[in-house]
Structure 1
């Protein structure tokens, strides 16, 4: 989801949120959506929009139409990617052209949003395997990550990339387990 030609690039969504003076980052917005979808929220899209948008914001209004289209595209894309057997799901984060501290802060926001969305979904976290619960605990730990990186280096860059990949894998595991649980399947 990092390229500019995808339905909802990080930069375009960030700009749309900024234009409406919404206090959330694009990563956090995507994290909330993923948490709701992983938790099998029956009305995930509506719950997501209700949480993100201030009361009275009319997405049918022409000045808000671009953001509405971005959010709708992001919802469809994320739902398809989470359910894809090709494991195409990716976190909506800034590209590597952005400073390391900015990318780390967006990962922190993404994980905060995910935790919030998962809680908002009302899912039964006891249905998760021990590995998935431990992974979720690790995602909560990421929310406390220091993002002030005075002298970024190759090692720090590599560590951030590993955290992003770890987060992606844990989210896919949680999605799979909670989806199976909701369908009456057996968790690993």
Structure 2
């Protein structure tokens, strides 16, 4: 009982910390113009925090399963407070923990726009590795000229944002889903 209360208060403190971080990011984002390159830095920071929350959630789920195996009943509400406090890919199922996801003919796509703190999400009815830029454009249906960057893993540099130009190019995936940034192309370069 006592450890359950301690865990709940830790989750509550974590939720408050996340709220402060989100407000700080929003404030920082508002201090730059809409096409300032610093938005990339803020996006990366936001993604990093999302990844950390996802990892924390996975660790919590692992601990809960270990406790269940030992016959103790976990407090299910604790991890959800962490998870719901950050509106991000931490809410998506993980392909490595849900084998059915990888064989599914549907891909979850998370994407940020120039000014969005919270990502948008769409499903594309194709397997990861078959989704093209054209499919992505059709799914998000945005007016105007845009540039499209996708979270990818480069063997030399690690995590990168890869720009994709041609509609028939396959877009890279990340941990069983697609993470994208859609930016208005103001044509200055």
Largest Rg, 1 or 2: 2
Q: Normalized per residue, which structure has more strand?
A: 2
TM-score, normalised relative to structure 1: 0.26
Higher RCO (Cα < 8 Å, 6 or more apart): 1
Q: Normalized per residue, which structure has more helix?
A: 1
TM-score, normalised relative to structure 2: 0.26
